[in-house]
Amino acid sequence: MKTSDFFYDLPEELIAQTPLEPRNSSRLMVLSKTEGKISHNHFYDLPKFLKKGDCLVLNDTRVLPARLYGVRVDTGAVVEFVLLRQHGNKLWECLAGPGKKAKTGYRFKFSDKLNATVTDVLPDGNRMIEFSCEGDFFAVLDEVGQMPLPPYIKEKLEDKERYQTVYSNEAGSAAAPTAGLHFTNEMLSEIKNLGVNIAYVTLHVGLGTFRPVKVEEITDHKMHSEHYYIPQAAAETINSTKKNGGRVICVGTTSCRTLESCAKQYGKICTCSGDTDIFIYPGYEFKAIDALITNFHLPESTLIMLVSAFAGYENTMNAYNTAVKEKYRFFSFGDSMLIC
């Protein structure tokens, strides 16, 4: 298939710039992957579509305030850094711009508590940065850093916690697992009381999730790599759900990619960790999941390709065109879809 097969026309005014309050007031499209039927609901209606014995799989990653602005010690030049991946105690791989002002050996000051030195320039242009700070690094980062919001969001985010899920726990992402932003703690309690199991996995979302597909044939695209972890408790919950005839419902493409990566490598869901660059597109045979909750994704993105693989290409494109017609809100702070 070609990248252009996944294009749809999206008016700019449908790109959500701010999150709704309360979180679960967003709209929820329910799509039948077998029949292609669509119904329009709200996210607070989700429990109506769940059954006792089902299992929701949530990605508990927490977004780092990973955007930092540093002043070069010798010249005063301001350089933007975005933390991508931790390689050591205070050693991080980062994006840097403008790159010509962040060469090996250059030193930067971010605050009275936080300084850094560029230790290496990698072949892809990313920088290795070694930080020094007073006190706990992540506590200082929370004071100094800004949320690395996607480039299509132009509005300022007043509350950083609105770009976190209410169950976020494991710091390490450069972007939020946005399908989970719709849940409230009260709603999760309601779902548990229905007899629905909840399993927490971790996949640290990289900025590569926003990287456009630039090749004509989708099979020529090289996926970015992200780190994931499935704890024993989650593996046991998911496996018992399957054994007892319940549905494994992934919240977000990140949870989906985590389970499918594990099942692809080990032939089952088990406790494991590693890096995954799994690329799911139409023709892929799903091994682990039965249903998917997801937001509406960018045209020609790897995420809409994953959704098309799960729901069917025709169903997906019809759902997206319907969402445009019905004026759904799109992307990170937008509305959601349950595919079951």
Residues with Cβ within 8 Å of residue 340, at least 6 apart in sequence = 30, 31, 32, 33, 49, 247, 249, 290, 291, 292
pLDDT at 208 over 80: no
Q: What is the pLDDT of residue 97?
A: 93
CA 6 to chain centroid, in Å, comes to: 20
* Helical spans, DSSP H, in 267-339: 302-311, 313-325
Q: Cα–Cα distances in Å, from 45 out to 34, 167, 299, 333?
A: 21, 20, 27, 18
Torsion angle defined by CA atoms of residues 176, 182, 183 and 187, in that order, rounded to the nearest 10 degrees: 180
Question: The pTM is what?
Answer: 0.92
Instruction: Give the mean pLDDT of 321-331.
Output: 98
Q: What is the DSSP letter of 311?
A: H
* Number of Cβ within a 10 Å radius of residue 328: 23
Q: What is the pLDDT of residue 118?
A: 97
- Under the banding of pLDDT at 50, 70 and 90, the label for residue 209 is confident
Q: Determine the Cα–Cα distance for residues 282 and 296; give it in Å rounded to an integer.
A: 17
Residues with Cβ within 8 Å of residue 213, at least 6 apart in sequence = 3, 221, 300, 301, 302, 305
Phi, psi of 101 (to 5 degrees): -100, 10
Would you list the DSSP string of 2-32? BGGGG-----GGGB--S--SSGGGSEEEEE-
Q: Shortest CA distance to 195 belongs to which of 58, 46, 54, 45?
A: 54
Q: pLDDT, tens digit, for every residue of 214-254?
A: 999 999 999 988 999 999 999 999 999 999 999 999 999 99
Q: pLDDT, tens digit, for every residue of 196-206?
A: 999 999 999 98
Q: Determine the Cα–Cα distance for residues 304 and 289; give it in Å rounded to an integer.
A: 17
Q: What is the DSSP letter of 146?
A: B
221, 302 Cβ separation under 8 angstroms: yes
Q: What is the pLDDT of residue 212?
A: 81
pLDDT at 28 over 90: yes
- Under the banding of pLDDT at 50, 70 and 90, the label for residue 179 is very high
* Both tokens assigned to 52: 């006792």
Q: Cα–Cα distances in Å, from 273 out to 59, 66, 235, 292?
A: 14, 23, 12, 22
Phi, psi of 207 (to 5 degrees): -65, -15
Q: pLDDT, tens digit, for every residue of 69-82?
A: 999 999 999 999 99
Q: What is the pLDDT of residue 202?
A: 98
Question: Can you list the positions of beta strands (E) in the chain?
Answer: 27-31, 38-42, 55-59, 61-63, 67-72, 78-86, 91-97, 107-109, 114-121, 127-133, 170-173, 197-203, 226-230, 248-251, 272-276, 291-295, 336-339
